[in-house]
Amino acid sequence: MMLRRLFVLCVACFLSGACSAPSLVVVSPGPAKQAALRYRADLHAELALTYLDKEQFEVARREAALALQLTADHREALHALALIERAAGNVQAAGQYFQQALAVKSGKDDPLLRLNYARFLDEQARRTVFDD
């Protein structure tokens, strides 16, 4: 009986020490966690577009940035940032965000993104024609 208690005590000490020791193993997020992050990023991108509609550009930028923090290549967040910068009059930033959104996987297959980019390019071409 005494030997059994000693064994249980040793096991408990070992497990508590192993559990509190820092882990050197890097674990990538599983599919469920990735899906949860993607969902949260989608919500922030939608909020960015909602704030854009209300012309609250700073809040819209912040929401899009949060989406990009969660998912670095979030096409909708990049698209939202392009639209935000376009509406705010930051032409160079808008162009860069459009190009980044198009470079993301399946970005060129997004008809709304392509349409908005075409409108943006058309506006820039007209602006240069009439400014000259």
8 Å CB contact between 77 and 46 = no
Query: How many other C-beta atoms lie within 10 A of the C-beta of residue 117?
Result: 23
- Say whether pLDDT at 83 is over 90: yes
- pLDDT tens-digit map of 84-103: 999 999 999 999 999 999 99
- pLDDT for 106 equals 86
Output Rg (C-alpha) for the chain, integer angstroms. Answer: 25
- pLDDT for 130 equals 65
The reply to whether the predicted model has a pTM over 0.85 is no
Averaged pLDDT for residues 120-126: 92
- pLDDT tens-digit map of 21-75: 444 444 466 889 989 999 999 999 999 999 999 999 999 999 999 999 999 999 9
The full set of domains in the chain, from first to last, is 31-126 (1.25.40.10)
